[in-house]
Structure 1
Amino acid sequence: MSEFNAPQPDVTLLLDMDGVIREVTLAPAMSKENIDAWVGRPWSDVVGGASDKIQRMMQDTQRTGISAFRQITQKFPSGLELPMEFTTVLLGGRAGMLAIGKNLQAVAELQARLISAQQTIERDYWKLREIETRYRLVIEDSNDAVLLVKVADLRIVEANRTAATALAGAARRKEGPVGRDFLQEIAAKDREPIELMLRRVRDQGKAPGIVVHLGAESAPWTVRGSLMTQESTPVFLLQMTPIGKSTGAAVSEQEDLEDVLDRLPDPVAIIDDNGEVKRANRAFAELVEIGSAGAVTGENLGRWLSRPGADLPVLISNIQRHGVVRLLSTTVLGELGTETEIEISASGYQHGGDSRIVLILRNVARRLSSSPESDSLRTALASMNETVGKTPLRKLVKSTVEVVEQHYVRAALQLAEGNRTTAAEILGLSRQSLYAKLDRYKLQEEPDSTG
């Protein structure tokens, strides 16, 4: 039970006001790491590419007494690199700062699995949508005039643009053809043959095409029919092709795609399989706080993605396995230190003989509400500043650790939807250890969904 009498985070650093490490305490699970070489070195020297974050944390701590939680990759002398979440607290009399870190490796792995599951759900959803709308796409994209006509009364229920144009000209009317009697849209001499063809379609499912005439000029059209069901109602699918003239779609004016890309309000980037940026628009350059889109080219996208479990390797691996990624939540850290919550949708494609990935990044910071749990933790830690100078350092460290530990226990339970077995795995604890902590912090009333 000694584990619960002296709870501690995974890494605790005692820093001086310049950020130099004066003392290090590791959790028992990391006790094999030899961290003697850390003492006397700046904290920024023993982390992976996060010196800017550490500088901002120390500035916030010196100004307000406590910093916000930030995710940092902590490097150990053995070569181990772990994603960790740190906060720093100012000690009394400006004697230094205390950096408290929690290992996020289990959380990052769970986030990666959750992202993979989310992408699977997204793919299944869009496959279903494709199946449901396929016939509409075929109708709208067809160069032929396509109609859906009720079997019961031969009323038109749907028509593509080509059919609407042809029938509007035939009837000399501007309103659409939906709801009109199909037989009234063709020449009188062709009505009996078309009725006979539709009867055969109704009885046999399809029939050979016949020629009918539309409009004052009696322009000839070939009509083919088949039977299908729409919302439990039998309908005729009629395809009409004009005879003697081309039905090719008009060629639209060529768009300047480079200009269109730069005008898009959302950031867009194209990368290769290694994450190197091959093309980006102005909005992307603004997001990562670089002066021009050209200056981004050749840089690695991972330079700006900063959330463990939702970084560049996770994105690329999902693209390579599934071809697309939708609504991947992550964080972009700009060159000037601005952190922006974003969602990424991406798709892979072939460019010559090389693989490319096109990404659309959307800033979602405005719609993300602040976390009540983070606010409450920040408030609880901030209130401890009042005890600085009145409480011994050992007791202050212990109290701070207890507050942080309760936060992570609650967060793990929330992430695991109340399942204590899963929450224990996230925290790297045994189930018995988790129960002991729940009892210690009076959290036994938290719901359990172990099933």
Structure 2
Amino acid sequence: MNRVTFAQPDITLMLDLEGVIRKASLSNAIPAETVQDWVGHPWTETVGESGGDWIRRMLDDARSNGVSAFRQVRQRFPSGLELPIEYTTVRLGGEAGLIAVGKNLQAVAELQSRLIATQQAREQDYWKLREIETRSRLLFDASSEAVLVVEAQTLRVIEANPAAIRALGLAPGWEFLREVAPRDIEAFRGMLQRARENGRAPGIAVHLGAERTAWLVRATLMAHDPGPVFLLQLTSSAVEPQVAARGTALRLDDLLERLPDAFIVTDQDGLIRRANRAFLDMAQMPAEGGVLGESLGRWLAGPGDGLAVLLANLHQHGEVRVFPSVLTGELGTEVEVELSAAAGGIGASRAIGIVVRDVGRRIWARAEGSCLREAIGGIEAGIGSTPLPMLVRRIAEVLERHCIERALGIAEGNRTAAAELLGLSRQSLYAKLGRYGLQADAEEGPGEQG
């Protein structure tokens, strides 16, 4: 004989058609609670404030459709205990009333609370990891020691900090092994093998680049997705450098940083190795680390591919003078520039020095000066036919109009600011604007009134 087991509801309420409780019973899942005090009271009075609307909807659904959807409410017991209960209500037929059966969701609510707490903990751990990653990135970029991250299998450069790009000219994508002198390759591979076996290896002297400069290289094996990588730390192993030469290099570097014109050094492919503050301001970049390893073509534009034309001319002639182009900053500001460049070195060590000069103001000043000279020249044509006082007055008017237009241009149309630049009161400036018909050119600035 088959035995069918029915799960007993945690709460059973017998109701009349108006929703008044006639009988209430609890299962053993809710012990130590008496609900006889509910009898004779509307069901809506036994739940939390927000549950009353759900109760009324279930009663309406049961009366009209015979059964209601499941709804969750906060059931308040006579002892003051509140539990989340999921109810459904069924009409018994005729005038027999309604029955409401409920399931205790306390265990589900506790699981939900634990899930939320776990999610919050994971989120906190995520942000801690992000903070650690950000700090590591800052240390990586700010380190004065050359640091490279290379693939363990191919030894291709994945990342290079600014010091490595500046000192070695290595950029992401380059194969590090090609820079190692042939005599050091076997010893270098042996060091990497020790790093694979032990996690890290003591440093060895390796000669790098076309000049075969000596470097002390240390390797550390690190986990990475999709495959392991080596962290290579490179320290110059030059012995007893000349103090005078070192001081000269430091002074030269300081001078380049203070140079009012933008100055950059790139490799033969146009990837930036060094950039002074003037170039960073022109490119609207906050720090040198943001431009190192990037192509100059990211900011340079002109007829065709400006960078490609510049590099082609350098390859052909070895130097370029007064190369016109447009430099676009990260925030969209465009600057008319002239570039002068020279290339030196051979092979992978070939480097290009480029001076970038802002000529936008010069072009504008020439055009403006030409207009001013043309206007004054027209007045000078009246010499001999016009009295001198009248000529002087006309020239003074041209100069005054020119100065007012310049001040309005500098103040971006703000008449109050333009008056301060000219040393005039607003009323005097308004009178002169009316005299020269410049009211349409002068708009109310954001800080003006009336």
Is the pair's TM-score, using the shorter chain for normalization, greater than 0.5? no
TM-score band by shorter chain is 0.3 to 0.5
> Between Structure 1 and Structure 2, whose CA radius of gyration is higher?
2
What TM-score does the superposition give when structure 2 sets the normalisation length?
A: 0.37
Which structure has more RCO (C-alpha within 8 Å, separation ≥ 6)? 1
What TM-score does the superposition give when structure 1 sets the normalisation length?
A: 0.37
